[in-house]
Amino acid sequence: MDFTLKIWRQENAGSKGKFVTYTVTNITDDCSFLEMLDQLNEQLVDKFDKPVCFDHDCREGICGMCSLYINGRPHGNDSGITTCQLHMRKFKNGDTIVIEPWRAKAFPILKDLVVDRAAFDLIIQEGGYVSVNTGGVSDGNAIPIAKINSDLAMDAAACIGCGACVAACKNASAMLFVSAKVSHLALLPQGKLEAKKRVEKMVAKMDELGFGNCTNTGACEAECPKEIKLTNIARLNREFYAANLS
């Protein structure tokens, strides 16, 4: 399979970027998208050209690093997957593929397809954790938790913080990410003690970092590789209102 790639190239955060066109050939249909980019970079290095910078780590769909905007969709033209899980069989031979970094004020471009997502780390530092002594594994197992709550907490905890929700949102809102982090702790007894402080501080930090407002269009849920549900945003709102009323 042969493809034409239009890739965003930008030297650093302060420079002006542009799309540059490349051609890759003899790509197998079972090749992953990142492996295809690896092959492109091998060609560029052989020609003494600068390789394309892009984020990656585990390549197993759990690290959240492979943040690419592909043909107008975060992580590409499939559902419930990260970029590293996207295979070239999802494209047609001869296709032109447009590859961009996340576009959000809170995610400044560092170089080419790499963006700075430290904003998510700062939100987590504000309260996305449990600081109380919860004991060992046996102590945790001794605390009764309703099955529905444990399932919902695990579903919310599946968020990998890739930022696809921000990239998909017309307002670059981080509400789905923050709501997932708030929800999985709010649903468990270990997270109750700090619930009020957690939601207030995380929402305040989200606003401070320049993320936009949620308008409930649902693009975040549709593009989330872990299919985090919008119901988590409703829970975040309830937690926030309760914290401010108490």
Mean pLDDT of the chain: 94
Q: Is the pLDDT of residue 234 over 90?
A: yes
The reported pLDDT for the residue numbered 238 is 95
**Over the stretch 49-67, which tens digit does the pLDDT of each residue have?**
999 999 999 999 999 999 8
Q: Is the pLDDT of residue 140 over 90?
A: no
Mean pLDDT of 130-159: 89
**Final residue in a domain of this structure, among 96, 111, 126:** 111
**Final residue in a domain of this structure, among 77, 111, 145:** 111
The reported pLDDT for the residue numbered 141 is 79
Other C-beta atoms lying within 10 Å of the C-beta of residue 51: 14
**Over the stretch 145-179, which tens digit does the pLDDT of each residue have?**
999 999 999 999 999 999 999 999 999 999 999 99
Same domain, 82 and 124: no
The reported pLDDT for the residue numbered 136 is 84
The reported pLDDT for the residue numbered 244 is 87
Same domain, 139 and 89: no
Mean pLDDT of 113-129: 96
pLDDT class of 133 with cuts at 50, 70, 90: confident
- Spatial separation of the C-alpha atoms in residues 147 and 135, rounded to whole Å: 21
The reported pLDDT for the residue numbered 138 is 82
Please tell me which residue, 193 or 33, carries the higher pLDDT value: 33
Q: pTM for this one?
A: 0.93
Q: Is the pLDDT of residue 246 over 80?
A: no
State the SS3 of 172-237: CECHHHHHHHHHHHHCCHHHCCCHHHHHHHHHHHHHHCCCECCCCCCHHHHHCCCCCCCHHHHHHH
Same domain, 122 and 229: yes
The reported pLDDT for the residue numbered 137 is 80
- pLDDT > 90 in the chain, percent: 90
> How many domains are contained in the chain?
2
Mean pLDDT of 231-238: 96
Same domain, 126 and 171: yes
The reported pLDDT for the residue numbered 132 is 83
**Final residue in a domain of this structure, among 50, 80, 111:** 111
The reported pLDDT for the residue numbered 75 is 96
Per the structure, the complete domain to which residue 8 belongs is given by: 3-111
Residue 2 half-sphere exposure toward CB, CA atoms < 13 A: 4
